[in-house]
Amino acid sequence: MKTIKYLLMSFTAILFISCQNEETLIIQDTTQNLSVLSPLASLISRVSQNATSQDNVLDNSGCFNIQLPVNVIVNGKQITVSNQNDYLTVQAALDAFSSDDDLVNFVYPITIQYQNWNTQLIANSDQLEDIIDNCDEDDGFDEIDCIHINYPIKIDIYNANSQIANTIAIQNDVDLYNFLENIESNVIVSINYPVSITDSNGQEVLIASNSNFEDTIEDNIEDCDINSGAVGNPNFISVLTDGRWHVSYFFNKVDETSIYDGYNFTFNSSTTVLAVKETNTIDGIWSTFVNSESDIFLLKFDDSKLDELNDNWKIIEYTTTEIRLKNESGGSGETTYLYFTKN
């Protein structure tokens, strides 16, 4: 067993040693491996995806957006939508009458573009309605369109089946989004840092590691047109205390979500919380506060079964149906993730 363990460690150490142009050896830090199921991969996908929610006033769908220009008819008035500013004109037309049906009717044909940047020509309203009906259920977390990656970026790839390692250059959002969406289970990938991005303030920022990339995206989320974890916003409290929740993701070195299967959590406005599993009820308390400009959600339960949930959790973002939290250990530098989803 010791021999096998040693061989595995040696294999990991050389995993990303590859030959480029038959001369240059590329050695990538394997601690920076990127899992397709990791929170960082999800964040990068949302940065690189097509911004499908910006035009929801037109199509009310996060599955796709309508390519501009497009002509629409609202309350008998035809409007030419040529740019994003015209979305406000459409919204004003919808708001002009309180007794109307608030429908946006397109002048067909139109072209729609999906999150993966693929396009489709739509001939009539029936075809569009069929596509909307078949859209995958949205988790409520939209694109992160206030951050832009400055291309090209390089990604190291190792295929465990073929034992081939190489480095590819990603040139744009289209390629990056589809690359992340199509990573196979036998492929290990790692971003070749540093990477340059332009943040929500229009400033260029150099990213040095996976954790740096994740923190930078999360720090900019509040400036994007999506919900963020603002404790000062009473909406967070109203979301938290509305209904029952379950742990949909818990990661601490490994995925431990299954430990919390069957638990239902009810957060009361009195800052108490009940965790119920079958006939077992565990009491706890919760609170929110700000620490070092971060919005914190404190959890503390009375039973050792939920010890790992007892912590000061940084609120990353939330919707009406999901709350995403994480905790970074000051000593070990490890990051734990906790997601609650409404039942």
Cα gap 286→301, rounded to integer Å? 9
The radius of gyration computed from the CA coordinates of the chain, to the nearest angstrom, equals: 23
Reading phi first (left if > 0) and then psi (alpha if -120 to 50, else beta), residue 137 is in beta
Nearest to 176 by CA among 218, 212, 147: 147
pLDDT for the residue numbered 18: 42
Residue type, 243: G
Q: C-alpha angle 236/331/44, rounded to 5°?
A: 50
Q: How many CB atoms lie within 10 A of CB 317?
A: 20
Q: Mind listing the domains of the chain with CATH numbers?
A: 15-48+144-221 (no CATH), 56-133 (no CATH), 234-342 (2.40.128.270)
Residues 6+ apart with CB under 8 A from 39: 214, 251, 324, 326, 337
Quick check: 324 and 305 in contact, CB under 8 A? no
Q: What is the reported pLDDT for 98?
A: 67
> What pTM was computed for the model?
0.81
Establish whether the linkage from the previous residue to 109 is cis, with ω within 30° of 0.
yes
> What pLDDT does residue 294 have?
84
User: From CA 138, how far away is CA 121, in angstroms rounded?
Assistant: 22
Question: Splitting the chain (343 residues) into consecutive groups of 10 residues, what average pLDDT does each group show?
Answer: 41 42 44 85 95 91 94 94 94 80 90 96 96 80 91 94 91 96 89 95 95 92 58 73 97 93 97 96 95 90 96 92 88 84 96
- Kindly tell me the number of DSSP H helices and DSSP E strands found in the chain: 8, 24
Beta carbons of 93 and 75 less than 8 angstroms apart: yes
